[in-house]
Amino acid sequence: MKHVLNVLKSSIDGVNFTKLMALGNEKLHRFVANAITTCRPRSVFICTDAPEDIKYIRQLALDQGEEIPLAIEGHTVHFDGYLDQARDKEHTRYLLPEGKDLGVNINAIDKESGEEESRMLFNGIMKDKVMIVRFLSLGPTNSDFSISCCQITDSAYVAHSESLLYRPGYEQFKNIGSSKEFFRILHSAGELDDHNISKNIDKRRVYIDLEEELVYSVNTQYAGNTVGLKKLSLRLAIRKAAREAWLAEHMFILGVKGPHQRVTYLTGAYPSMCGKTSTAMLPGEYILGDDLAYLRKRAGKVYGANAESGIFGIVQDISEKDDPVIYKALTTPREVIFSNVLVSDGVPYWLGDGRDTPKRGINHSGEWFEGKRDAKGNIIPLAHKNARYTISQMELENCDTNIDNPDGVPISGIIYGGRDSDISVPCEEAFDWNHGVITKGASLESETTAATLDREGVLSFNPMSNLDFLSMPIGTYIKMHLDFAKYLDMIPVIFAVNYFQREKGVYLTGMHDKHVWVKWMELRIHGEADALTTPTGLIPVYEDLRRLFKEVLKKDYTRDSYVRQFSCRVTENLAKIDRIVSIYNKVAETPPLLFELLDEQKQRLLKAREKYGDRISPFDY
């Protein structure tokens, strides 16, 4: 420990050394000292919860050119490199010791090799840079949801983003004393080019050490790879949750208004670009979280809390007409960081924003003009399809007042949302918890989108919308969900949604129809709406939807629309079951109940086909 103190004293100025030493945690001191020794920064800034420290971080991002001020007060823009626009699934790997195996679909590397490569990549990487040490909390502070985190980075943009996305945790670190229970993240953007963009993308690496609860991220700036408290820490939280019998999930939390001033809280797990954020931000309802939720059992009920306190959202198809709440927040004075949008005369533009867009500007490709092509001859759109905005959730008019409630909120329903054109109905209720976990959550499929570096438009298996972030075998994860309902007096109702049904390329549902589906779920939870029993679950009756469309959207809902949307497509559902069973046949430790419930659903579909045919109208039941 004497060596650690010597490193800290010789590398950190008096003010910052005092701030660090106020946290009497040997493991923390060792982490900072090791980072200094390896990365060799020009200086070290210890960021407390003080407003002046937070302000310094924001100004540093501007001074270093990582962010550029825009025309509206408080708005800035950051550009990631042209090839650094999404989560890097290929190079995001777990560091596993010899003999450890997390199962199929889990990307891993030998721990010793990964650590050696990390040391090499981080060696001297922060020369001439400021090392920023941040203390933050996942979940509300001073709560059983709280997880203390320390992120070290040389990117003021990353550190500034965390100011908007997470609760300050310096004071909480004081409270944990010498505890070793906290997450650690070490990040460097690496060598930058003349445009302040990570230069060595070929050496982009994100390594996760589950045993040490430690993340390494290097040669990247995209927030999904660098803001360690986001999906990187989700992987650590899933393991922690497994040890402690709670759930860390890729879910929003939404407060839905019901009759007589009732508010019912639902969570929802959707893969990227499947309507997750727009559902979390339904106008007139309350948003408690848009991405990550922690679920705990207490006194026979499930309570949920937002792991974050801000939003790193996709800024595409957000218009004044379709998304008035977030559109207003993005076009009025407040602190917002845009990334990878088009900027012209200090104004940000994005795909599908409903405005007349300029023919020239600056975007992630540099100087941009209409018709510009990249080195491979591909047309470069005015903004990236995975362009983002970062904002404190407190800036939204409909932010739920319970966002920082240390007790969380009671969870009454869980929604699993995918994206397919011809399999799933727009909304459906599971028969019970186990049926929901298996047929809605564990069987979730969705077409791939621009949020990852894979091909788009491919139907992809994504259980609980969490496959990319699983830090344990899939079978174990599914069993953890099945077991979660044990000893509960009030079990959340499970639903599934699909906003992307199509016929001949035309969507069968409107962008706002999701509001009706959610209102129906709220009524179902309280026994105030009817349902029809189908082979795959419970669906709304026509009269309830006709009334809700009129009440919620002020529009008529026809019987023809109901039949087209809610008819059961038997062949497509049977093919899906075969695909899911084939996948789980290769998964070790898959709970036998999964195969039993999927087979029961298959038999119901076959029996219904014998009676009604291959496409079953809801009026046939």
Mean pLDDT in residue range 272-296: 92
pLDDT at 4: 94
- Long-range contact list for 600-604, CB < 8 A, 24+ apart? 601/439, 601/535, 601/536, 601/573, 601/577, 602/574, 602/577, 604/535, 604/536
Pick the more confident residue, 323 or 518: 518
Say if CB 319 and CB 331 are below 8 A apart. Answer: no
Task: List the CATH code of the domain at 247-309+403-620.
Answer: 3.90.228.20
Mean pLDDT in residue range 519-538: 98
Phi, then psi, of 605 in degrees rounded to 5 = -65, -45
| Residue spans in the chain of domains classed CATH 3.90.228.20 | 247-309+403-620
CA distance 546 to 532: 15
Q: Is the pLDDT of residue 450 over 60?
A: no
Told to judge if 568 belongs to the known catalytic residues of this protein, a careful annotator would answer no
Mean pLDDT in residue range 14-20: 97
How much is the mean pLDDT over the chain?
95
pLDDT at 456: 54
Q: Is the pLDDT of residue 122 over 90?
A: yes
Q: What is the pLDDT of residues 329-356, one digit of tens each?
A: 999 999 999 999 999 999 999 999 999 9
Q: Is the pLDDT of residue 198 over 80?
A: yes
Kindly state which CATH superfamily the domain 312-395 is placed in. Phosphoenolpyruvate Carboxykinase, domain 2 (2.170.8.10)
Ordered DSSP codes for 274-287: SSHHHHHT-TTSEE
CA distance 428 to 234: 28
Q: What whole-number percentage of the chain has pLDDT above 90?
A: 90
CA distance 166 to 154: 18
Annotated active-site residue in 149, 150, 274, 568: 274
pLDDT at 325: 86
Query: Rounded to a whole number, what is the distance in angstroms from the first to the last CA of the chain?
Result: 72
Q: Is the pLDDT of residue 601 over 70?
A: yes
Q: What is the pLDDT of residues 142-173, one digit of tens each?
A: 999 999 999 999 999 999 999 999 999 999 99
Token code pair at residue 380: 């470069």
| Residue spans in the chain of domains classed CATH 3.40.449.10 | 2-66+87-244
Q: Is the pLDDT of residue 211 over 80?
A: yes
Rg of the chain's alpha carbons, rounded to an integer? Answer: 24
- Domain 2-66+87-244 in CATH 3.30.70.1900? The answer is no
Q: Is the pLDDT of residue 458 over 80?
A: no
Q: What is the pLDDT of residues 543-594, one digit of tens each?
A: 999 999 999 999 999 999 999 999 999 999 999 999 999 999 999 899 999 9
